[in-house]
Every structure is written in C-alpha cells, then in structure tokens.
Amino acid sequence: MEYNFRAIEEKWHKRWVEQQTYKVTEDENKKKFYVLNMFPYPSGAGLHVGHPLGYIASDIYARFKRQQGFNVLNPMGYDSYGLPAEQYAIQTGQHPEKTTFQNIDRYREQLDKIGFCFDWDREVRTCAPGYYHWTQWAFQKMFNSFFCYTCGKAQPIETLIEHLNENGTKDLNVAQSEELTFTAEEWNAMSEKEQSDVLMNYRIAFLGETMVNWCPKLGTVLANDEVVDGVSVRGGYPVEQKKMRQWCLRVSAYAQRLLDGLETIQWSESIKETQKNWIGRSEGTEIQFQIAGTDDYFTIFTTRADTMFGVTFMVLAPESELVQKVTTADQKAAVEEYLNYVKSRTERERQIDHTVTGVFSGSYAINPFTGEKNPIWISEYVLAGYGTGAIMAVPAHDSRDYAFAKHFGLPIVPLIEGADISEESYDAKEGIVCNSPAEGATPYVNFNLNGLTIKEAIAATKKYVKEHNLGRVKVNFRLRDAIFSRQRYWGEPFPVYYKNDIPCMIPEECLPIELPQVENFLPTETGEPPLGNAQIWAWDEVNRKVVDKALIDGKTVFPIELYTMPGFAGSSAYYLRYMDPQNDEALVSKKADEYWQNVDLYVGGSEHATGHLIYSRFWNKFLFDLGVSCKEEPFQKLVNQGMIQGRSNFVYRIKDTNTFVSLGLKKDYDTTPIHVDVNIVKNDVLDVEAFKAWRPEYNNAEFILEDGKYICGWAIEKMSKSMFNVVNPDMIVENFGADTLRLYEMFLGPVEQSKPWDTNGIDGCHRFLKKLWGLFYSRTDEFLPKEGSATPEELKSLHKLIKKVTADIENFSYNTSISAFMICVNELQGLKCTNKDVLEKLIILLAPFAPHMAEELWEALGHDTTVCDAPWPAYNDEYLKESTATYAVGFNGKTRFTIQLPADCSKEDAEKAALENENSAKYLDGFVVKKVIVVPGKMINIVIGK
RNA sequence: GCCCAGAUGGUGGAAUGGUAGACACGAGGGACUUAAAAUCCCUUGAGCAGUAAUGUUCGUGCGGGUUCGAGUCCCGCUCCGGGCACCA
C-alpha cells in the first residue's frame, strides 16, 4: 500500500478536532509543563517556511513531554494590535479590523495543515476586548504604583502619598523622573493639580514630558527598541527627537532586577549579553564641583574616580540646564552660536559624525581634590540624557576627552606609570597610578594614590569622596523608560479621562473600554491621534459609561485619552492569559497561575531581545510584586530559533537580448543576472517552459543550454517576495505532506542556527517516511507486523534509537535524531524486521516528529487511543552491549590498523593483543615501546621511540 | 572602539580530547522498465603509487602551544554574523 499522506493527514486533522485530543485542563495529579511560542503578528503575507520552524521545534518538545507523562500546555494566539497590522491595513486601503481578522483566518488555515498540538480553546487575540481588558487593568495598576528602592519592589501609590503627607520627600528612596525636594507642609499646601503632577514623578505608568522618538511618516512616537540607526524598524522612516508629553513606563526602576534575573534563567549567552548591554549598568561616583566665584555646585558622573588628578577641563551637554548659568557675558555670543549649530543637527548626523566641536563657557569649576580651576566647556559629545549631563574630562585616559583636548589645545596630564599618551589616550583600566600631587601640594587634602592599581585607586577615591561628603557612589543604567503611547488607531485605548487636565482612571469595574469605531483611522504627520475622530469618546462619570463627546461639560462628562498603547502592551503578559483565557474576573486566577507557574520553554526569534523580552520580563516582575504572578521570571528557558534565509535562483540574460545563458557558459558573455521564481526551478535546473509562461516578456525567450539543461545560479538572501525566493509551507504540505515538512524543517540543521531554505533536500525526508511505511505495509497491501520475539539485532537497533532520540530531544538536536531514525529504519529494513513490539516502539518515538503517520500506524496496530498518550519508552543498555569492539591501533598518535577484540576486553589484554598483532611488527622494528595508552572499546595508541 | 557567537567536502550538516566528514542532498555508475516515474545497489574530501585488491601523503579559516593523540583545550591573528556605542 502506498503512503497516502493526503488522506492520512486529512483524516487525523478531523479526528483530533472531534476528539479534542489537544485540549488541556489543570490536573493536580500530573506535573505541568508549559511550552510557548512567540505568538505571530498576522501580517498580510501569510506564513513562509521560516515561520513554522520554531513552532515545529516546540511542538516536538511538547509532544515528547506529553508522552513522558507531563500535562503540557502548548497554546497559540495572535499579536494582533499594533503597527505591523495597521500598516498592512493602510497599505491595502482597508480597515485594520477587517484585515486583521482575514489574516488571522489565513494563518490559522496554514497552521492547521502542519499538525500542531495547540489547544485552540485557549487562543488569545490581543485586539479582543476580553483580552485587552487585562492590558488596561495592568496599566491602571502601574499608574497606581511606585517603585520603592528600599524594599526593592512596586508599592501602592497610597503608601507614597502617606509618606509625603507626613515627611515630604525626606528619607524617600524611590524611583523617580527627577529628584524633587519638598516638605510635608509644602506637599499639603499643593493644589490637586500640583499634587497630581508631583505624583507623576513617581508612578510606574506616568505622563512625562520627555524627548521622544517622533516618526512623522508613521505619525507616532516610538520606543527606543523600535528605532535603529535613526530610522524606524518598521518601514525604515526617519525619526526625530521631539519633546512631547507621553505616557511612559518606569522600566528603569526595574533595571537591577532585570539584570539580576538573567542569572536565574536558561537563556542563550548572546541574548543575555544583549540584554545586559541594553540595560547598561555602570557603577561609578557622582562628584560635586563648585563653579568658581559662586556658591553653586554641579554634579558629574564618572566610573574613573581614580583620575581626579588628571582632570584638566569640564564639559556640559549643550542641553544641560547649567549652560545658561555658567555662560559668561563675553562668551554669550559664542555659546549661542554653538547651541544653534547643535540644534541644526539631526539625531542621525550626531550619531554618525563625531567631529570634535565645542565652545568655552567662560566659567571655571574647582576640583574638590586639588582646588585647581578647570575651564567649563560645552560640547555635544556629552549627552544630556545620561548621568548628570556633565563630565570631568581626563584627556590622558579617555579617548574622547583626548580628541577634544588636542583639538582645543587643552593640557593633558597622564596618571598611569609608563602610559604613552603622545599619540592617543591610555583608556585601559590596567596599570599603576602615579602623578598624585605631593603631600601639601594642594590646599585641600593629603590624598595620594601613587603605587595603587587602578581598581584600588577607584575604591580609595570612592571611600574618600564618601567620607568627605564630596559626592556619592552611584549606579547608572542605560536602560530608558519605555514610551507607552502611540498616536495611532489600532491599539488598546487608555482607560484614562481628563478632569481639569488631571488624568483620572476609569473605574476598574467599567473595564474594558473598547476601541471606538472611526471612519478615518489614518495617522497624521502632525501627531493628532486618529481617536480624535471618534464621536463617542467621552467619559460620563455619573452614568459610568462612554458617551458622545458633544456632551462634554467639564463637570460630569470628560474627554478620554486619545492615544493608544504600543504593540508591546498586548504581548507583555499573554503567557499568563493562556493559563486562564476566558476568565472575566481576573487576568489569571490564583489557581491557574499556581498550577502553570511560568513558561518552561519559550521559543522565538532573537530579534525581540531588547523589545518584547525586556518588556514582558518587566511587566511580569511588576505583576509578581502585585502578587498576581507567582514567578518573578516569565520564561525559564528560552530557545531562539535561527532565521530561515531564502535561496534565490538567477538566470543570466545576455545584455540587450532576450537570450538567457546557462550558468556554466555565462563567462563567455556579458550578462545581467535576474532573479527567477524558485518555484519554477528544481535542483537549480530551470523549467524553461514555465519560465516562458512566468512573465509575458519572456514569452519568446531563447536559451543557451549546457548538457541540454538550463542551470541557474543561486545566492543566499533574505526570504522575500522581491527576490522570488519565498517558499510557502502549504505548497510543501500539498506535495510532500505535513510530516515531511516537519521532518525536513528540523533536518535542515540545529534549530538555533540561521540557515537557508533549500527545497532540494526534502526528497530525503520524504523517502525516509515512505521507507518507514514500507516496514508496515508490503506493496501488496499486506500488514507486516507480527507477534513474536524480537531478535537481538532488532532490539539493538531500536534501543540505540531510543537512547539517541531521548537525549537529542532534550538538547533540541532534532536534526541528529532524524538521522538516527533514518539509520534505524535502514537497519530494520535490512533485517527484514516484522516484529510488532519493535515496530510499535518505533512509532511511539516517531509520534512527536511525524504525528499523522504515527497515529495512522498506531491505529493499524490495533490501538484505539491516541499515540500522543503512548508512554515514551525507556532504553535498555543490555541490548546495546557489543560482543566485540573495534580498536584502532596507532603508533605515536597515527592510526595504522584496526583489530577486533571482545567488548569486555581488559586494558592489559588489549595492550597485549595490539603488541602481538602481526601488523605491529613492521612498526615496532628498530624501535622500543615507551608507553601504551588504551581507550576501552576504541583505541590503542603505542608510543614508540629509538 | 567594547562585548557575544561562529568558520569542517560541491551543498545542508555529524563528531563526551580517541579511526574527521555520521545522516541527507547533489553528482557519477549500475539493476529493473518499451520508456519515464518510482524503487534498489555501488562510488563520491584532495593528492600520489598501483591493472587491481590496496598502500600512502595531505586535509576541520591562519600562525603558534599543551598532549602519546586536537575540529574539540590554551595563546595570538584573519574573515563573516549579531549586540552595544561620543554612555564618561
């Protein structure tokens, strides 16, 4: 009987739905295992073969765990709010709601063909009100919380208010936008509006007036991870810096916990490293400098406190508030001119062009260690947004300060023994400190660092600074707060209304507030949010509902926030929602959360390292502080599947003709390579007729062939429509079946590695399945498996496979387990194995990889249960024991011949057998044996010498 | 500039410090067939010697080192990919 994959796969898809094979419920008697894929944006292009890679890998793991007896949660859903979905709608001129639902249907159809064990009853969509209810809810919780550094976690805002009522900002150790100082009396005297503004300084979700990434083309602000090299990740449009009032999340408050948490999770080194870089912890010292001739001080941040004696000038960021203060009358014109120059430069220019520029302010700062007066300069190389926006410049040991000093002819004082600073600065943190001033040389202190290592000198200086009240030890982070509002339509509305300009939360029990329908949802270049077009968009406080904005009276009816939330809002806690997706009382019930805990295995792309994977860790830590999530880290183990690249094919047109020359002959002609659709090329041989039919202009194309074939060139490129190298999984399923697709995607190479898709190799996997089928059905439809006892060879082959596959799945080495399957099936075929027990075990092992075929054959073996619940077999080492072992016999490390010895041969016997073997004689002739090394079962190396 | 990961046949890729190239594709040869498809068998890292069996040398980006023995460990480079980046 032929392997009819179409009939088999159709049959089992239906059966799985009917029998709810993949439905999962909390079961206290079973250990849980939570497998999760990053849910997709349903974009318009549909899935290509790269998308299912991670889903297949995790599906295999999920099925494997289920067969091992775990209660496995493996859900799927759609990240359907946000920029990508909306951009697609705009491009196709349709309403995003319509395109989103269409795209979801298309995705579902494609996913269903591949045979995943998703529990679709748990599907979530971020754009569904029942879902974003909890996104809005979490936002309100963040609004009503602040972060307390003393207890290291989020606290209700009431606790802070109490503190302010009693103590003002005294002894306040909390995360804040800027350091405010006021007394309890001052606080209590503030108006409601003033208090609201002050509290914004502390809330975890807050309105902040900050520099944001504004993208006019997309008509919205963007978070830092959504901007790369000054352009938007989505669409590649220019981004400018603009001061705007936006909702922000105080992610920076969690910087240390986000960093510490990395040590507790099993993620790849490279992702952890990326997150560490992004968080950018830097431990240093803040030191106060007095502005000469005044009583004013300003603070700088340095990681090199040891270089206090090498400071020769100070630099302020042009945006620093100090600039006005330190600019003297005679420098005013020059400073103004410089500030105008800085303003004229775009963010992108500043990033690329590092020419030294700057201006002297006219003022001096007093070095608190030496009493020296150092000129204060203004330069754009100092960033306003990091540290204090002011630095002490040590040109000898910082390359930027060095370049600046050289350019403006400022002095350079070296502080490290033997450091050559004639050509460049010595930036390394290695060496012995010298050149501390002699005792009594400064009017201030006797403080000498000479002879210390840099590390010791930093510690000594910190200690000194602390003891003498010159500043404080400070940890800075590069991680910025996340801009949380977007001037777009397709996103979660904020559950916020404005009462006399004070933002108020819509009562929790009135959530969700649903996205209103609007005619015109297009973004605007000026930033007016599309929700401004919604007529029914005002909050009636009395009747507690959304009403027509014509009713706004400023007393009981108020305008609702027009911004929407960004894409990452919905994707930050979706893993919790899968645990309890229909709950309308809570994001997740205590019971469900305590059962499923957190995600054991998370599979997805590494491109989310500084976006989703930071935000969701932050979000979950917040929910953990609230007691909603019982685990601090959401994703225990993370596997990043590699990107599937495209393999493009080319034809070579001879210039100015319609004649195409085959790859091997093209060197004789002047040709232009042209991308050709990979679907009309097989094994790099062009289907000439299909090519002619492909495009009208190739209708009468002519070809110069080699060996009667047209051979195409190829290249590895990104998989994209414009390169004509997109391979669609539906097509593979249609031609080879889902099981073949699943096997081949895994066989391509290690899951975590990026690799090109090349349909050419797929025959091998398809052949393997046909061969395996052939172990069950003869060509004459006879069902082959028979009762009886298995031969030792059959058992050995099988148990070798069990051992290999069990280990490989745990390591995600699916490619080598499939190789092992191929070897085993070849061996069993060679042994003409018909033993039912052996074949049945083989099917159980196959089930995670090729579930359709496994179910079909499992049923044929007489089972009326699903193979998904067939217990994973254990291997028996007894069967794997060899009676003889092949020893490679080498002399001085080079293998010369092999001998067969009993498997349990002792080292001594092996050594004797090797030395006495007739082949050894010619190598031993004239030499003496110095040493013999025996690796049991493998190798005997005889070291000889004169 | 700093940090991370990687480099193995024509291709994708295997190798707890122990016979490098498993497995698969492609290619070449053969069987079956009127033919094709499908299926099956053999060869396939490079070089040299030999009619042949076979023997032998060289081979895991480059240069050193440790070791009886290195793709694997150590030191120094080159190249490719990724992250951070006037972050003081």
Which position has the higher pLDDT, A931 or A580?
Answer: A580
Q: Which residues of A507-522 are buried (b: 16+ CB within 10 A; e: fewer)?
A: eeeebbbebbebeebe
Nucleotide nearest to A382 (CA to C1'): B86
- Which tokens in the block code for residue A877? 């080492």
Q: Which nucleotide does the CA of A610 lie closest to, via C1'?
A: B83
What was the pLDDT predicted at A424?
82
Shortest CA to C1' contact from A300: nucleotide: B88
Q: What is the mean pLDDT of residues A926-937?
A: 85
> What does the mean pLDDT of chain A come to?
91
List the Cα angle A267/A137/A482 in 5-degree steps: 50
Helix A836-846, helix A814-830: angle, nearest 10: 160
Q: How far is the CA of A860 from the C1' of B31 (A)?
A: 34
Q: Which of A16-25, A679-688, A753-762 has the lowest mean pLDDT?
A: A679-688
A762 CA vs B37 C1’ separation (Å)? 17
| Length in residues, chain A | 946
Distance between the alpha carbon (CA) of A478 and the C1' atom of B63, Å:
40
**Which residue's CA lies closest to nucleotide B22 at its C1' atom?**
A819
pLDDT digits (tens, 9 = 90+) for A277-320: 899 999 899 999 999 999 999 999 999 999 999 999 999 999 89
The amino acid at residue A565 is M
Q: Which nucleotide is nearest to A281 (CA to C1')?
A: B87
Is the pLDDT assigned to residue A490 strictly greater than 70?
yes
Please state the three-class secondary structure of A731-767 as a single string.
HHHHHHCHHHHHHHHHHCCCCCCCEECCHHHHHHHHH
Q: Which of A105-109, A353-357, A436-440, A526-530 has the highest mean pLDDT?
A: A105-109
Residue with tokens 């400098």: A289
Between A354 and A259, the more confident residue is A259
Nearest nt (C1') from A819 Cα: B23
Least confident of A495-509, A522-536, A612-626: A522-536
Hey, what amino acid is at A113? K
Nearest to A40 by CA among A75, A74, A72, A76: A76
Strand B bases with any atom < 7 A from protein Cβ: 3-5, 11-16, 18-20, 22-27, 38-40, 55-57, 68-70, 81-88
Span A195-230, pLDDT tens digits = 999 999 999 999 998 878 888 888 899 888 888 877
C1’ B61 / CA A348, Å = 36
Structure tokens at A459: 């510690």
Q: Which of A189-193, A496-500, A610-614, A875-879 has the lowest mean pLDDT?
A: A875-879
Interface predicted TM-score (ipTM) of this complex, two decimals: 0.94
Closest C1' nucleotide to A937's CA: B18
pLDDT at A636: 95
| Cα(A611)–Cα(A56) distance, integer angstroms | 24
Q: Are A114 and A67 in contact (CB under 8 A)?
A: no
Tokens of A864: 């009326």
- Which nucleotide minimizes the distance between its C1' and the CA of A304? B88
**pLDDT of the residue at A916:** 87
Give pLDDT tens digits for A707-735: 778 888 877 788 888 788 888 999 999 99
Instruction: Tell me the C-alpha distance between A78 and A99, whole Å.
Output: 13
Q: What is the pLDDT of residue A920?
A: 83
Phi, psi angle pair for A941, to nearest 5°: -115, 125
Cβ atoms A186, A177 nearer than 8 A = no
Residue A76 has pLDDT above 80, yes or no: yes
Token look-up 């410089």 returns A338
Least confident piece of the model among A33-42, A341-350, A744-753:
A341-350
Question: Strand A599-604 and strand A502-505: pairing?
Answer: unpaired
* Confidence (pLDDT) at A444: 64
**Measured in Å, how far apart are chain A's first and last C-alpha atoms?**
68
pLDDT for A126 equals 97
Distance measured from the CA of protein residue A57 to the C1' of nucleotide B14, in angstroms: 20
- Of A65-69, A93-97, A126-130, A186-190, least confident by mean pLDDT is A93-97
Task: Give the Cα separation of A842 and A865 in Å (integer).
Answer: 17
C-alpha–C-alpha distance, residues A290 and A368, integer Å: 8
- A818 nearest nucleotide via C1' and CA: B23
Give residues with Cβ within 8 angstroms of A850, minimum separation 6: A739, A742, A743, A769
CA distance A758 to A748: 9
Q: Using the predicted structure, report yes or no on whether residue A432 has a pLDDT greater than 90.
A: no
Residue nearest to nucleotide B13 (CA to C1'): A749
Cβ count within 10 A of residue A646: 25
Alpha helix stretches (DSSP H) within A183-268: 184-189, 192-200, 255-261
Please give the protein residue whose CA is closest to the C1' of the nucleotide B19: A888
DSSP 8-state class, residue A802:
H
Q: Which nucleotide is nearest to A380 (CA to C1')?
A: B86
pLDDT at A548: 96
In the three-class reduction of DSSP (H, G, I as helix; E, B as strand; rest coil), residue A886 is classed as: strand
- Stated as kind and residue range, the H or E segment containing A154 is strand A153-156
Å from the A233 CA to the B61 C1': 34
Q: Distance from residue A122 (CA) to nucleotide B12 (C1'), in Å?
A: 37
Q: Give residue A445's pLDDT.
A: 62
Mean pLDDT for A177-183 is 92
Q: Please name which of A743, A578, A572, A632 lies closest in space to residue A74, comparing C-alpha atoms.
A: A578
Q: Which residue has the tokens 């759609």?
A: A78
Q: Which residue is nearest to nucleotide B5 (CA to C1')?
A: A270
User: Nearest nucleotide to A384 by CA–C1' distance?
Assistant: B87
Q: Report the alpha-carbon distance of residue A243 to residue A399 in Å, rounded.
A: 31
Residue A512: is the preceding peptide bond cis (ω within 30°)?
Answer: yes
Task: Provide the CA A510 to C1' B17 distance, Å, integer.
Answer: 67
Instruction: Provide DSSP, A654-695.
Output: ETTSSEEE-GGGGGGS-EEEEEE-GGGEETTEE-HHHHHHHS
| Residue A932 CA, nucleotide B64 C1', distance (Å) | 28
Burial of A923 (0-12, 13-18, 19+ CB in 10 A): middle
Segment A400-411 shows an average pLDDT of: 93
Element (H, E) at A228: strand A227-228
Q: Which of A677, A609, A600 minimizes the C-alpha distance to A640?
A: A609
Q: Name the pLDDT band for A443 (thresholds 50, 70, 90).
A: low
Checking if the pLDDT of A861 tops 80, the result is yes
- Taking residues A47-71, report their average pLDDT: 95
Residue nearest to nucleotide B88 (CA to C1'): A302
Share of chain A above pLDDT 90, in %: 63
Cα–Cα dist A65/A62, whole Å: 5
At residue A42, does pLDDT exceed 90? no
A90 compared with A626, residue with greater pLDDT: A626
CA dihedral (A601, A606, A611, A613) in degrees, to 10, reads: 20
Least trusted range by pLDDT, from A137-151, A495-509, A528-542, A773-787: A773-787
pLDDT digits (tens, 9 = 90+) for A770-808: 999 999 998 888 899 999 999 999 999 999 999 999 999
Q: pLDDT over 70 for what percent of chain A?
A: 99
Q: What is the three-class DSSP state of A147?
A: strand
Q: List the A878 CA – B23 C1' distance (angstroms).
A: 25
- Tell me the CA–C1' distance in angstroms for A834 and B34: 36
Average pLDDT over residues A620-643: 95
CA of A404 to C1' of B40 (A): 77
Distances (CA, A) of A25 to A75, A584, A592, A602, A636: 12, 18, 10, 20, 21
Protein residue minimizing CA–C1' distance to B87: A386
* C-alpha separations of A820 from A104, A330, A743, A800, A887 in Å: 37, 82, 12, 8, 23
Burial profile A618-643: b = 16 or more Cβ within 10 angstroms, e = fewer: bbbbbbbbbebbebbbbbbebbbbbb
Contact at 8 Å (CB) between A48 and A729?
yes
Q: Residue A864, Cβ neighbours under 10 Å: how many?
A: 6
User: A441: buried, middle or exposed (CB in 10 Å: 19+, 13-18, 0-12)?
Assistant: exposed
Length A760 CA → B21 C1' (Å): 21
Angstrom distances, CA of residue A374 to CA of A322, A389, A393, A946:
16, 17, 10, 75
Interval A592-609 mean pLDDT: 94
Q: What is the pLDDT of residue A446?
A: 67
Q: Please enumerate in sequence order all residues whose Cβ is within 8 A of that of A867, keeping only pairs 6 or more positions apart, or say none.
A: A843, A844, A847, A851, A854, A855, A858
